[in-house]
């Protein structure tokens, strides 16, 4: 676990899709990548997500903090796995340094599609 070459291609592809949606400022596409219900655990602010619209509004209100960012890179480490779920530690870099780091708990639905069920920020 934890070696970059062990990240499954579907997880790599998932976060490429995520980064593309972020760079395109596409709140709809981002909302599609989150489960409903989902949980966003920010310090002092736990958000229970009950609709795609809620996720869309969350991202639409956050575009300001990504002003001027034209490219993103990530470093993904799978830190845990269980049936139909896994935990990915993802460090996001732009302008040459790591700026954000999250644990994404991804879950598979009945159609075997992956989405983010729990989002937790980590210290960079």
Model pTM score? 0.90
Per-residue pLDDT tens listing for the chain (124 residues): 444 557 999 999 999 999 999 999 999 999 999 999 999 998 888 989 999 999 999 889 989 888 889 899 999 999 999 999 999 999 999 999 999 999 999 999 989 999 999 999 999 9
Q: Specify whether the CB–CB gap between 62 and 55 falls below 8 A.
A: no
Q: Please give the pLDDT value at position 2.
A: 43
Q: Specify whether the CB–CB gap between 88 and 75 falls below 8 A.
A: no
Instruction: Provide the residue ranges of all domains of the chain, joining segments of one domain with +.
Output: 4-121
Q: 58: helix, coil or strand?
A: helix
Beta strands in 1-124 (DSSP E): 34-42, 45-49, 73-82, 85-94, 97-108, 114-121
Rounded distance, CA 89 to CA 105, Å? 9
Q: How many CB atoms lie within 10 A of CB 31?
A: 21
Whether CATH 3.10.450.50 fits 4-121: yes
């Amino acid at each position: 676990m934890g070696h970059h070459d062990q990240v499954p291609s579907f997880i790599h592809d998932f976060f490429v899709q995520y980064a593309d949606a972020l760079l395109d400022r596409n709140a709809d596409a981002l909302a599609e990548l989150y489960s409903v219900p989902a949980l966003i655990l920010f310090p002092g602010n736990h958000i229970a997500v009950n609709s795609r619209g809620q996720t869309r509004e969350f991202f639409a209100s956050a575009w300001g903090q990504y002003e001027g960012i034209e490219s993103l890179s990530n470093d993904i480490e799978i830190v845990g796995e269980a049936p139909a779920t896994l935990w990915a530690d993802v460090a996001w870099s732009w302008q040459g340094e790591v700026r954000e780091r999250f644990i994404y708990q991804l879950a598979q639905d009945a159609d075997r599609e992956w989405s983010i069920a729990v989002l937790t920020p980590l210290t960079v």
